A and B are shown apart, each in its own frame.
Chain A
Amino acid sequence: MSSNTVKRILSSLSIFIILAFSFYLGRWAVLSLLALIMILIMDEIFRNFLKKKRLSFNYIFSQLSILIPFILLFFFQIDFKFDIYGFFVHWGLLNNIFLLIYLFLVPMNDLTLIERAKKRPFLLGLFYLPFLVCFGTILNFEMWERYLLALFVINYSMDTGGWFFGRKFGKHKLWPAVSPKKTVEGLIGGILTSACFGSLFWNYYIHPVNLYFFITFAIFAFLSQMGDLVQSKLKRQFGIKDSSRMIPGHGGLYDRADSVIFLAPFFVAALRYIKGYYIA
């Protein structure tokens, strides 16, 4: 085994232990961990994507515009007379639709958005806020551990399945301009792996599944891969490879979390709006 592989395995193991320990401690620990991860991701974006200093208005405003609403919503349980979580879920979906449009319609060499983001980075906090709230929303469900794990299973099986099938059968490049290593075979294999493991997990730990669940999980897997591609495109346009070197062998936190962040609003929307998904 190369030293990089050892590093990767050790890093994965530590991440798993941190996650498991916070799950064991309960809802508040997981909420705090999520908030911490979001702070670190924002830090990566500001330091490495935008090359900004920590002690600046933009940085502090962005961090606070995520943290304060999150704390008010989940730690102080502020009362709203309207469906506040629905508002954030829709906001997250809108952000995702925007990102998808950006992925498919904006040419690779069009850096208008990148320049805008560099000019007014204080808005980035508000862009990432709904994603964090979507994660918090999952933790409001009575069976939050299972739903959160289901989200991770779907996401992780997509990555792993994609990697495995891509290496074994990969012939046709998916989109070399955005992500040179991804193949069509990897995408299809990943989707199938993810739908299978997602269905199995759901079936044993949440609710008996049928074909509709399988199809939905396949769509989730596809969307998670799209999230990956969006971030690949953005990283390429920013001219960086990894978001940071925080996790040895893996790169940055954002590299690990990008697709699951993208998937979260879709997942919560399914829990809220598709009949039979959420079990009281």
Chain B
Amino acid sequence: MPRDPDFSNLSHVAVIMDGNGRWAQQRSHLRVWGHIRGAQVVSGIVQEASDLGISELTLYAFSTENWARPINEVRTLFRLLEKFLLRERKRLIDNKVLFRVVGDISVLPVETIELINELENSTKNNRGLKLNFAFNYGGRKEIVETVNKIIAKNEKVTHESIRDNLDLSEVDLLIRTGGEKRISNFLLWQTAYSELYFSSTMWPDFTPEEFKVIIEEYRNRERRFGNISRTSCLEKSNLVAIKNKEIIASLRGN
């Protein structure tokens, strides 16, 4: 079978930035210290993703479940988002990054919300890397909200309508640092056919070099989408499936 020419096309990478608190505690630091260090790692990874020609990067910053953490930690995470935005604002605009925050940001301080809106507005026409921050985000919540949106529009709920109404596109590669092997309610719909990569590196120790190695590893993986050989995307696999279904149906008809 001929090799699919665009199998290595990596458009959407999602990262669960886990292990900050544990990284800090292993060094007898306060948990929040790990988040501060972790926030410093982010910009290097964003840069590397942009350099590697990835078109979309989604970072899981705070989940709807993270509210259960100690109040100090929650506050620090909120503050870190604001600090990150203030620090990286110019660079994001200069690098033509299309910045977006997904999830319910209404809980954030008003100034942070304004900052996010302002940054989203000033980068919305950029055609560089799409950078998404998942903040106060939950995968199930997103699916429910999307379905409700479709119902409100009086459309039929189908795979396609859900896909088209979701904020984020299909994920090709999901990376989770920190050694845990879970999805933790992140992009449930979009990761149905993603490749998963679990790194035992704690997020503050994560480097652009390791990110690059993971991308290389991904490019050597064989994605089949239910097919028996390499297939570039789910749609191609679906086309074959539809054709096969028709053949079987016509055979039964005889």
Contact = CB atoms under 8 A, between A and B. Distances in A.
Interface in B14-42: 21-22, 25-31, 33
Contacts of A85: 27-29
Contacts of B28: 85-86, 89, 137, 140-141, 268, 271-272
B27 A280 contact: no
Contacts of A278: 25-26
The 3 closest A-B pairs by CB, nearest first: A85-B28, A137-B28, A280-B22
A83 B33 contact: no
Interface string A119-142: 000000000000000000100111
A141 B33 CA distance: 12
B252 to A, nearest CB: 57
A11 B85 CA distance: 54
A77 interface: yes
A86 B29 CA distance: 10
Contacts of B29: 85, 140
Contacts of A77: 30, 33
Contacts of B27: 83, 85-86
Nearest to A77: B33
Interface string A262-280: 0000001001100000101
A142 B31 contact: yes
27 contacts: A77-B30, A77-B33, A83-B27, A85-B27, A85-B28, A85-B29, A86-B27, A86-B28, A89-B28, A137-B28, A140-B25, A140-B28, A140-B30, A141-B25, A141-B28, A142-B21, A142-B25, A142-B31, A268-B28, A271-B28, A272-B26, A272-B28, A278-B25, A278-B26, A280-B21, A280-B22, A280-B25
B5 interface: no
B253 interface: no
Interface in A239-280: 268, 271-272, 278, 280
A254 B26 CA distance: 31
Contacts of B33: 77
Nearest to A83: B27
A83 B205 CA distance: 13
A280 B70 CA distance: 13
A77 B27 CA distance: 14
Interface of A: 77, 83, 85-86, 89, 137, 140-142, 268, 271-272, 278, 280
Contacts of B25: 140-142, 278, 280
Contacts of A141: 25, 28
Nearest to A27: B30
A127 B69 CA distance: 38
A203 to B, nearest CB: 21
A137 B24 CA distance: 12
A93 to B, nearest CB: 14
A137 B30 CA distance: 9
A280 B27 CA distance: 12
Contact of B70 (A89, A142, A271, A272): A142
Interface in B33-81: 33, 70
Nearest to A82: B27
Interface in B106-156: none
A140 B33 CA distance: 10
Contacts of B21: 142, 280
Listed residue (B21, B22, B26, B70) with the most chain A CB atoms within 10 angstroms of its CB: B26
Contacts of B22: 280
Contacts of B26: 272, 278
Listed residue (A137, A140, A268) with the most chain B CB atoms within 10 angstroms of its CB: A140
Given A85-B27, A85-B29, A278-B25, 6 more contacts: A83-B27, A85-B28, A86-B28, A89-B28, A137-B28, A280-B21
Contacts of A86: 27-28
A52 to B, nearest CB: 34
A264 to B, nearest CB: 12
B223 to A, nearest CB: 34
A139 to B, nearest CB: 9
B22 to A, nearest CB: 5
Contacts of A268: 28
A272 B31 CA distance: 15
Listed residue (B25, B31, B70) with the most chain A CB atoms within 10 angstroms of its CB: B25
A142 B30 CA distance: 7
A30 to B, nearest CB: 14
B46 to A, nearest CB: 22
Nearest to A134: B28
Interface in B78-117: none
A21 to B, nearest CB: 21
Nearest to B40: A79
